[in-house]
């Protein structure tokens, strides 16, 4: 695989430009993904924040929902942040009736768990794999209520009323965080994901396309 893997950013909603900047700082090439054909040749994909019910509807309208599910089932590494975490969850609490997700993560995620927009906050979070705490930004954020046996808890809230709540998880090729790393200026979470992409079985001897 190229030393600079190609990572797509789902560009239906959210901080697409910011995610692309962090991924590029972490050593990846990036492209925006709005159509099923744009999934071809990707080494990984980021699902940004936004409003999860709207993202699901837009993914259905743009005929991306089923291709994304198929790609992730086939092993495409994916990183979901905030609403992206919700989109990767197999099960939701506090979801809207009929809300669709992509799935893949064997977790139960509680939507809007930390409260409304006005209750957004910032806090340091100890993340497995990072030497120093990550300054996490939580905006109308979810948390993980339950994890399956194959899911690794990567970070929990360290203090305050919600101490111990799970805010980052990993399962095989999937990573998800409740917080928004793309707006912090710290690309270490994206670097963790790029490292996951690089270590994906079969890619080291394969190839990626040459899109810039």
Q: Which candidate in 19, 180, 187, 190 is catalytic?
A: 180
Please state the separation of Cα 51 from the chain's center in Å: 14
How many Å from the N-terminal Cα to the C-terminal Cα in the chain?
Answer: 15
128 is catalytic: no
Q: Which candidate in 18, 19, 38, 82 is catalytic?
A: 82
Q: Which candidate in 18, 182, 187, 190 is catalytic?
A: 182
19 is catalytic: no
DSSP calls for 70-136: HHHHTT--EEEETHHHHHHEEEEESPPTT------EEEEEETTTT-SGGG-EEEEE-BTT-SS-EEE
Burial class, 46, CB count within 10 angstroms (exposed 0-12 / middle 13-18 / buried 19+): buried
d(C-alpha 74, C-alpha 26), whole Å: 24
d(C-alpha 134, C-alpha 154), whole Å: 12
82 is catalytic: yes
Active site residues: 82, 180, 182
């Amino acid at each position: 695989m190229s030393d600079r893997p190609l990572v797509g950013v789902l560009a239906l909603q959210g901080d697409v430009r910011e995610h692309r900047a962090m991924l590029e700082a972490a050593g990846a090439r990036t492209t925006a993904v709005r159509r099923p054909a744009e999934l071809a040749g990707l080494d990984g994909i980021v699902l940004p924040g936004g409003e999860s019910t709207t993202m699901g509807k837009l993914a259905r309208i743009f005929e991306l929902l089923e291709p994304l599910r198929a790609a992730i089932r086939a092993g495409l590494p994916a990183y979901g942040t905030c609403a992206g975490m919700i989109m990767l969850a197999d099960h939701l609490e506090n979801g809207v009736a009929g809300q669709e997700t992509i799935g893949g993560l064997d977790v139960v995620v509680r939507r809007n768990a930390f409260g409304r927009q006005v209750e957004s906050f910032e806090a340091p979070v100890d993340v497995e794999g990072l030497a120093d705490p990550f300054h996490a930004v939580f905006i109308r954020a979810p948390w993980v209520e339950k994890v399956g046996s194959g899911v690794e808890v990567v970070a929990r809230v360290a203090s305050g009323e919600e101490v111990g709540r799970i805010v980052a998880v990993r399962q095989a090729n999937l990573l998800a965080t409740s917080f928004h790393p793309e707006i912090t200026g710290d690309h270490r979470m994206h670097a963790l994901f790029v490292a996951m992409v690089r270590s994906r079985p079969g890619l080291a001897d394969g190839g990626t396309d040459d899109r810039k």
